Every structure is written in C-alpha cells, then in structure tokens.
C-alpha cells in the first residue's frame, strides 16, 4: 500500500474492512512528504539491450573453465547442479505484434471470467506473460506446457525483492489464447510496469536455492 498515491490511500479510509482502514491510515502517516525525483529518460547504454538481439550465452565448457580458475575446490559440485534454462531478453515493442505475445509489463490478457488475484484486497502486480509455443525447441522447454499462455503476478514485496522469499505470487496457464481479453483489476494496481517484448535464448544456470532437491528447473 505504501507504493500508492496518498489520494488512493485516503479513499481506503472509508473501506468497510477495519483492517484495510487501519493499514491505509498507517501508510498515509508513513507516506513520504517530498516529491519524487524528476523522470530521467534511459541512457543509450540501457537502451542497447532492447535494440539488439540476445548474444550467445556461455557454453558449459566456458562456464566450467571459469569456475575452475575462480573456485577450483567447488567447480565439480557447482557444475553438477547446472541445468538448462531459458533466458528472457527484453526487446522494443513492434507495431506489427499484438498483445497476445510474450512480453513483460503492461496489463494482462486473461479469460473473460478470470478474477484478478489480490492480497489484503490489493491487486497483485502483473509482471509478464509468455506464449509457450514461442519456447518450443529451447532446452528445458519440454518441462513446460507446449502451448497456451503463462501469466505471472506477485505482490509488491515479492516483485520488488523486499523479501528473500516470494510468498504471494500467482502463475496462471490458459490454453485458449484466442479467448483472452484485456483484464480489469478491482482497483488500479500500485504499479503498471513499462511494456517490452521478449526474445528467448538458451542458458546454463543454477537452480534456485529454495528449489526442492532433485527438481530440474526449466526456465530462469
């Protein structure tokens, strides 16, 4: 809630839920009084990634050589953990691509009867969506659905890495992409992230430290 504009927080002071009213009052009192810094356009270095295709990732041989130079006592153990992964590379949006493609940010497409997930009545932040068909042929994609749309959402603390573990997240998979329509949240989300297209590249990565032992992650 602290990410919200004070005007929105004040509207929640009339919410029928006393807990929501209490949170809103507390966050209004804690809300920063100074103006946010002026917007600065991205530098050319930041824009380079969006305007260029993804470069080839390091091979397993290259990674092992670097590990043996830097961590010779742990190289074998680390390489035993390495798994195929799918890297996400942001790209500039093109006018000839519609919203039913893989992208980060913006607003989600969802089935007409889908209800936006919330935590404490706050809409989860939409992170992005992936068309599973675009992943076919990449190492590790066989562990994901071969078709349909994956949508990813999380609460503010989960998305902004305010906690090490992401507790309040939602991942949806919808098979019939042609039925998806722009989703409407119950109230405006605290953030709507800038939209960018996605390109994919094969990587070699390590599993999440909290991944169950023996599990093989397919994307990273």
| HEC-encoded secondary structure of the chain | CCCCCHHHHHHHHHCCCHHHHHHHHHHHHHCCCCCCCCCCCCCHHHHHHHCCCCCCCCCHHHHHHHHHHHCCCCHHHHHHHCEEEEEEEEECCCCCCCCCCCEECCCCEECCCCCCCEECCEECEEEEEEEHHHHCCCCCHHHCCCCCEEEEEECHHHHCCCCCCCCCEEEEEECCHHHCEECCCCCCCCCCCCCEEEEEEEEEECCCCCCCCCCCCCCC
The string of pLDDT tens digits covering residues 140-183 is 899 899 999 999 999 887 788 766 666 788 999 999 999 999 99
In the prediction, which pLDDT does 93 show?
84
In the prediction, which pLDDT does 37 show?
63
The pTM assigned to this predicted structure is 0.73
- pLDDT of residue 7 exceeding 80: no
In the prediction, which pLDDT does 148 show?
96
* Strand (E) or helix (H) holding 119: strand 118-119
Mean pLDDT computed over every residue of the chain: 83
The position carrying tokens 């994919």 is 200
The string of pLDDT tens digits covering residues 10-29 is 777 777 878 777 777 777 66
* Contact in structure between 127 and 193 (CB atoms under 8 Å): yes
The string of pLDDT tens digits covering residues 99-121 is 678 999 999 999 999 999 998 88
Out of 40-49, 80-89, 170-179, least confident range: 40-49
Query: Which pair of tokens denotes residue 78?
Result: 């680390």
Q: What letter does residue 12 receive in the DSSP assignment?
A: G
3-class secondary-structure state, position 123: strand
In the prediction, which pLDDT does 217 show?
44
- pLDDT of residue 138 exceeding 70: yes
């Amino acid at each position: 809630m602290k990410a919200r504009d004070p005007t929105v927080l004040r509207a929640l002071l009339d919410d029928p839920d006393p807990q929501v009213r209490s949170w809103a009052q507390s966050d209004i009192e804690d809300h920063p009084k100074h103006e946010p810094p002026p917007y600065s356009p991205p530098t050319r270095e930041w824009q380079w990634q969006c305007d260029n295709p993804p470069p080839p990732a390091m091979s397993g041989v290259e990674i092992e050589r670097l590990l043996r130079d830097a961590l010779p006592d742990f190289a074998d153990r680390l390489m035993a953990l390495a798994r195929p992964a799918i890297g996400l590379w942001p790209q500039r949006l093109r006018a000839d691509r519609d919203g039913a493609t893989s992208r980060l940010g913006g607003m989600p497409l969802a089935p007409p009867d889908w209800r936006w997930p919330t935590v404490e009545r706050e809409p989860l932040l939409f992170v992005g969506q992936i068309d599973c068909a675009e992943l076919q042929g990449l190492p590790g994609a066989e562990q994901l659905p071969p078709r349909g749309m994956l949508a990813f959402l999380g609460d503010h603390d989960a998305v902004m890495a305010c906690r090490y573990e992401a507790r309040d997240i939602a991942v949806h998979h919808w098979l019939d992409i042609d039925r998806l329509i722009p989703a409407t949240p119950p109230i405006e989300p605290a953030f709507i992230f800038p939209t960018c297209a996605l390109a994919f590249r094969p990587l070699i990565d390590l599993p999440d430290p909290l991944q169950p032992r023996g599990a093989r992650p397919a994307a990273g």
